[in-house]
Amino acid sequence: MSKSFEENTKDFYDELNGECDPKRLLYIAEKGIFLKEPLFKYDKIKDNEYVVDISVISDQFFLINNNKQYNRLKYFFKEDRYIYDKYRHLTPSCNDYFSLIIINKYFIEKLLYEKDENFLNEVISTRENYLLEDFIKINENNIEDILRKILIESGKDINILNYCLDKVKRNNSKIKSIEGYRVPMHYCFETLKYYSDELCIKNHLYLKCEDKYAEEFINVCFTDEFIRNFYHFNIEFQEKFSKKYNIDFKEIGEKFEVIDINKINTNENETNENETNENETNENEYINDIQGQLIKIIDPQYKGKLSYIESYELNPGDINFDFINKYLRNYKKIDRILKDPNYILNIDIVINNYTDCLIIKLCYLASLIHNKYSKFIIQVLIFYDEYWHSISYRDDKIVFGNYSGGRYKYKFYIRKIFKILMNTPHKLFNSYFYC
């Protein structure tokens, strides 16, 4: 009979604090463990390449400290399907490993010289855009929402969990829900029991079933939202948690009862309304001034001219033909733009709208490509143009794809801009654009 996650966890930490054989640690981790914090604190193993494997298997954060670990990460990317099929029984999110990387100087430096465009695109894609997102610029008056966001993104680290608990106690507040749970579902049951009531408001609902261990687990870990809809979610819970916590959610789903522990001489409709209000998550609008921050760091051409965040709306008719006639109809000036990225940063021109910014930015990107600048920098700079306008960086070209992606409805206008850039007197410059 195989050992439980908790038994494996004890074996893992005994080995980690003892001989600390990386192969032995990986062998134990592949059976399923609760890894409560990142391994960079453990000097004996922090630089070993198997840190990547163990962390991904255990859904824990990790650092890339050396070339072996970086190449191990690239191996996971290359063999993504194989990795997912091998480890999904331990953690269904095992192919979401880019979100686990703790960004440090070494990792950024490796990305600056990375040539694999597919790998770079995955690092900074919409789905894995943790590298660029600003999770701090938020409604700072609502501490519960800030802590909830931290717990969702980083609650798998016990140190961060303790930090959030300290803030909850200091502010005399409670969190309503962590994506339907009362505690990040990354720890052994004893740890979950300790933190759930400390972090979250108490439930109104209580699920009863024949398996008393499962009953306690569900009521400790799940909010009213999940308890109320347990019948619809039990298959999902089975996939996520049955092996970890040795619970047959499918069997429970066939026979259970949900009771309202607060329902005493109260009108049922009023109670249901209270339940909904109590567990309703207040989703604030997160204002991420990501592109603005990038400008300050590596995109100075718009500084002091126009807020890049003002709008991603391109208004037909906004094309500044003064700039086009002065700079994009003159071979020598185009040649200077192409050969010297700094040239276009210092031109004397009034920028009145986002369309001007986009045209100048596309010229700037062509210059970066021509001068063989870091593919990573180019991918970062073009990230939101791809998101909004389907403008991407592929095979050392700036490409407009007239497909279903992108949020901007006037695709003909983007195409018009590209046609201008593809038909200047400078054939080499033109070759960096495609639509």
Structural domain total, the chain: 3
Give the other-Cβ count within 10 Å of 315's Cβ.
12
The set of residues, in sequence order, having a beta carbon less than 8 Å from that of 80 and lying 6+ positions away, is: 95
Residue 94 placed within a domain: yes
Q: Is the same domain home to 376 and 411?
A: yes
Q: Is the pLDDT of residue 264 over 50?
A: no
pLDDT in tens, 7-28: 999 999 999 999 999 999 999 9
Tell whether 318 is covered by a domain.
yes
| Mean per-residue pLDDT, 324-341 | 92
Is the pLDDT score of 257 beyond 70? yes
- 21: domain range? 5-131
Same domain assignment for residues 192 and 94 = no
Q: Which of the listed residues 244, 279, 314 is the one where a domain comes to its end?
A: 279
The pair of three-digit structure tokens given for residue 297, joined into one six-digit string: 């760091």
Can you state the angle between helices 189-199 and 158-170, rounded to 10 degrees?
Answer: 30
Residues 189, 120 share a domain: no
Residue range 96-101: mean pLDDT, rounded:
85
Residue 277's pLDDT is what? Answer: 47
Average pLDDT over residues 105-111: 92
Residue ending a domain, among 131, 152, 184, is 131
> Is residue 183 domain-shared with residue 319, that is, in the same domain?
no
* 288 against 122, higher pLDDT: 122
Task: Tell me: do 304 and 409 sit in the same domain.
Answer: yes
Across 243-252, 293-302, 345-354, the highest mean pLDDT is recorded for 243-252
Q: Is the pTM of this model over 0.85?
A: no
Asked whether residue 418 is domain-assigned, the answer is yes
Domain assignment of residue 284, yes or no? no
Quick one: how far is CA 404 from the chain centroid?
23
Residue 138 placed within a domain: no
Among 231, 249, 279, identify where a domain stops: 279
pLDDT score at 287 = 34
Render 14-46 in DSSP notation, one character per residue. Answer: HHHTTT--HHHHHHHHTT-----S-GGG-TTTT
Do both 245 and 322 map to the same domain?
Answer: no
83 within some domain: yes
Task: Tell me what percent of the residues of the chain surpass a pLDDT of 70.
Answer: 78
Residue 137 lies in a domain: no
Amino acid (1-letter code) at residue 253: G
Kindly state whether residues 160 and 296 are assigned to the same domain: no
